[in-house]
Amino acid sequence: MTQPSEMLRAPPSPTYAEIGAALHVLDGEAVKHVRELMNTIFDQAAAASSLVWSDPECWIDQRLSAELASLARKV
């Protein structure tokens, strides 16, 4: 049986203000690119520890293509 300390923990959900700010920044971006960014981050989230996500300057360049990294930096 999995011990509580070994369980996968989801990152906290964004606030409405954070979602609104992201939508403002992404206004005018191609839907295809935004979805690709979201899917790429989602796919990699299960494989990475939460510590990785706390340092976007590190994981953006390491885990995303140049095009998606540019979009991620905007957010």
Each residue's pLDDT expressed in tens, for the chain with a length of 75 residues: 555 556 666 667 888 998 888 889 889 999 999 999 988 888 877 666 666 777 888 888 888 999 999 999 988
Residue 23 forms part of a structural domain: no
Domain that holds residue 60: 50-75
Report the 10 Å Cβ neighbour count for 33.
Answer: 14
Give the pLDDT of residue 3: 59
Domain total of the chain: 1
Residue 12 forms part of a structural domain: no
Residue 62 forms part of a structural domain: yes
| Cβ 49 vs Cβ 17: under 8 Å | no
CA atoms within 13 A on the CB side of 68: 18
Give the pLDDT of residue 69: 93
Tell me if residue 10 falls in helix, strand or coil. Answer: coil
Residue 38 forms part of a structural domain: no
In this prediction the pTM is 0.66
Give the pLDDT of residue 50: 61
Report the 10 Å Cβ neighbour count for 68.
Answer: 19
Residue 66 forms part of a structural domain: yes
Residue 6 forms part of a structural domain: no
Give the pLDDT of residue 1: 52
